[in-house]
Amino acid sequence: MEILREQTKGITHQLNPVENDLIDEFVKINHQKKISELKHAAYHSRSTIRSAIEKYLNSRVNKNTKLAHRSDLLQFNQFLKENNIKQLKHLAQLPAHHLKALCESWLDFLLQNKLSKITVQRKKGSLQRFFKYLNQELPQLITAVPHLNSEKHKTFYSRAKTNAFTKSEWKLLITYLKNNPKTYRLFVVLQTAMSLGGRRVGEILSLKWSDIDFFSDRVYIVPSKKREDITTHVLPLTESLKNILKEYRKKLGYKLKTDERVFKKETQQRIDSKIKYYVKKAGINKKFSFHSIRTSFVTWANEAGHSQSEILNATLHKSTKMIRYYDQTEPMTVNSIIKLRMDE
């Protein structure tokens, strides 16, 4: 009340007694209104979210759509309870960006569990309308309506569709390819990609002999995805890969030109087709492609305890979100999605 008086202090000396009385009355009424709103908010803050949902459904929702809305909001309520959010005061304590992240995490999780986009859009609409109701009824508690976007970055909250090799599967395939003269070339292609940090197929197929420095043990890779900050990526040439490439060069049996591609005449389509065929021949009952090497490298590096910055430096991904996307060490859960959303 004193604050309101202070705000009118500058003009009251210019007014007559009647006008001053009117201002005092105005301040008093507004003060009482503010107290009433705060008491109202404090009372409802102790209410459960479930009771707020029922009140909303009974007062604002059309009978024809009530069943679907109830289902959507009760599912969301269960999700909140699992995250120890049971009362309206718990929602009120969340910063706006945290509340938004929480809601979007739930929507992302639904997409992960194969719900159709139409169903998820309906649930998003149910959430938006519920929070709009709370904001109108209890503005002291729910100060803003979160603007939800369940698909903005959804690829970062899913797992790569490409399977990662287990180490035993990889060993089985590599051994089969190495010991078969017809598939030795494919063995070298895959080992090169894996040894150089899970390189993309375009980076391997464009590799020239001049890019491999056998004396200083370095390999110069031109990223297939353009980066303003990186034009050439220098990677260490391990002793094992060095020996494989020397042996491969020897098997080619002719004088090589320095600007000649290491794996000329190969294409991504041909390599993927070969991988698919020889995976089965090696006795592995899974679907793999060349990109599985990249997924496998990230997964294995995480399992070995390497930091995300180390993996990022090797793979040349632009962000750690993509590292999480490829990592298949553990399943994606609601809590891990929330953490990703909060890291944004």
pLDDT by residue (tens digit) across 226-276? Answer: 655 567 888 889 999 999 999 998 888 767 777 889 998 888 889 999 999
Determine the distance from the C-alpha atom of residue 337 to the mean position of all C-alpha atoms in its chain, rounded to a whole number.
7
Give the three-state DSSP class for 62: coil
* % of the chain at pLDDT higher than 90: 21
For position 182, what pLDDT does the model report? 92
H/E segment holding residue 24: helix 17-45
Report domain 167-327's class: mainly alpha
> Do the beta carbons of residue 196 and residue 220 sit within 8 Å?
no
For position 38, what pLDDT does the model report? 40
Q: What is the mean pLDDT of the chain?
A: 75
Q: How many CB atoms lie within 10 A of CB 6?
A: 9
Query: In the chain, where are the structural domains located?
Result: 2-45, 49-157, 167-327
For position 51, what pLDDT does the model report? 84
Q: Which residues fall within 8 angstroms of residue 340, CB to CB, at 6 or more apart?
A: 105, 156, 157, 321, 324
Q: Which residues fall within 8 angstroms of residue 266, CB to CB, at 6 or more apart?
A: 185, 189, 205
Lowest mean pLDDT among 50-59, 133-142, 186-195: 133-142
For position 244, what pLDDT does the model report? 94
CA dihedral 152, 156, 160, 161 (to 10 degrees): -20
Instruction: List the structure tokens of 93.
Output: 């304590």
Beta strands in the chain (DSSP E): 212-213, 218-221, 233-236
pLDDT at 3 over 50: no
CA distances from residue 21 to 17, 26, 27, 199 in whole angstroms, order as listed: 6, 9, 10, 79
Average pLDDT on 290-317 reads: 80
Average pLDDT on 326-334 reads: 53
For position 161, what pLDDT does the model report? 62
Pairwise pLDDT comparison (118 vs 150), residue with the higher score: 118
pLDDT by residue (tens digit) across 162-221? Answer: 788 989 999 999 999 999 999 999 999 999 999 998 888 889 999 999 999 999 999 998
Q: Which residues fall within 8 angstroms of residue 150, CB to CB, at 6 or more apart?
A: 104, 107, 108, 110, 111, 120, 121, 124
CA angle 24, 25, 31 (to 5 degrees): 90
Confidence of residue 54 (pLDDT cuts 50, 70, 90): confident
For position 188, what pLDDT does the model report? 95
Lowest mean pLDDT among 28-42, 103-117, 225-239, 315-329: 28-42
Lowest mean pLDDT among 6-15, 124-133, 164-173: 6-15
Instruction: List the structure tokens of 289.
Output: 């492609």
> Do the beta carbons of residue 111 and residue 120 sit within 8 Å?
yes
- The distance in angstroms from the start CA to the end CA of the chain is 41
Q: What is the DSSP string of 252-318?
A: H-SPPPTTSBTTTT--HHHHHHHHHHHHHHTT--S---TTHHHHHHHHHHHHTT--HHHHHHHH--S
For position 153, what pLDDT does the model report? 39
